[in-house]
Chains A and B, each alone.
Chain A
Amino acid sequence: MGLLNRFHSIFKAKAHSVADRFEDPNEMLNYSFEKQHELINKLRRDITQVVTSKKRLEMQKAKLSTNIDTLEQQARRSLESNREDLARVALERKNMLITQIKELERHIGDVEKEQIKLENAERRLSTKIDEFKTRKEMIKAQYSAAEAQVKIKENVTGISEEMNDLGMVLNRVEEKTENMKAKASALDEMVDSGVLTDVTQSYSSGSTDIDQELDKVSLDSSVDQELTKLKAQIGKT
């Protein structure tokens, strides 16, 4: 037996178990409705979560991009002060950040795909739920009790298949979102602890090591300038 047959029988078993659990079509309908609403609510919550994850990744990307600009300025200032060693450090950090940004972009792309998948699923399920409501009234009105039971069972099985499919999609997305969250936290921690770059702190907590070095250079040179000036003045008098 192939993959498809086995895969299908897993679905079938789940879908039929709902329909077979209830003899009374009304109970079957109520149960099915309840499950449909649970699922669509879960789906909507998951969409919100995915959107939040995406925003977080985009914010991290923006933060890293700002840091890249800062590092570039620092490299320039370092060179202007003839401090190639400092310029080198700044550029090395910049390259590290560029790699991080590329990875973030890939993650953002992945999250976007998940978001589209979930939004399509949401649209499909809500259309089906509305249709299901309309159909059950029609079936009740048009068919005898025995026929209605069969028809309702068919519809419950059909919608159960859709719900099982969606359930699988949701599990997968939840797993991926969790992984993504863990990675985002790790990145936050790296940035916060300064492993990734001390420069990120420059905006909140004053100057960075490179800045401090540069300040020292300019301080030294201004002292030198003042000394020269003083010397010249003394020489003049």
Chain B
Amino acid sequence: MSTHHVIIRIAGQGQFKVNSEILDKINEIDNSIVDLIENVSLGSSDHKVTQKELQSKLTEMKNLITSNGEPIDDKEIIESDVIVPDSDLSIEDASKIFKEEGIISDD
């Protein structure tokens, strides 16, 4: 099977062209984030610990992308296939995303 590329944006940092194999690893981390947030909404976890874990997962994701991907030229105007939040995303904002509340302000 030949590999293809996906365009990933890291929020606040720009876009990267990444081998699709990396995407599988990213999806694994994404699934573990889902579990983490679920625990928060169930109230069964310490807020500070969860925040730290979320940030370390997002940082792992970011490092995976930046070390395996190729930054896309600033001149490129292209839609991303995947958008990854910045690693300083707060648990509150992450929960808002799950509740599908807006985190981008309206113009």
Contacts and interface: CB of A to CB of B under 8 A. Distances in A.
A165 to B, nearest CB: 6
Interface of B: 9, 11-14, 26-27, 30-31, 33-34, 37, 74-80, 82-85, 94, 97-98, 100, 102-105, 107
A195 interface: no
A131 B30 CA distance: 34
A6 B33 CA distance: 12
Contacts of B85: 3, 7
Contact of B79 (A127, A161, A169): A161
B27 A128 contact: no
A177 interface: no
Given A10-B103, A161-B9, A155 B77 contact: yes
Contact of B100 (A6, A8, A15, A157): A6
Contacts of A168: 11-12, 103-104
A2 B79 CA distance: 20
A135 interface: yes
The DSSP consensus for interface residues of chain A is helix
Contacts of B34: 2-3
7 contacts: A2-B30, A3-B37, A10-B103, A10-B104, A164-B104, A165-B12, A167-B104
Contacts of A120: 13-14
Interface in A31-68: 35
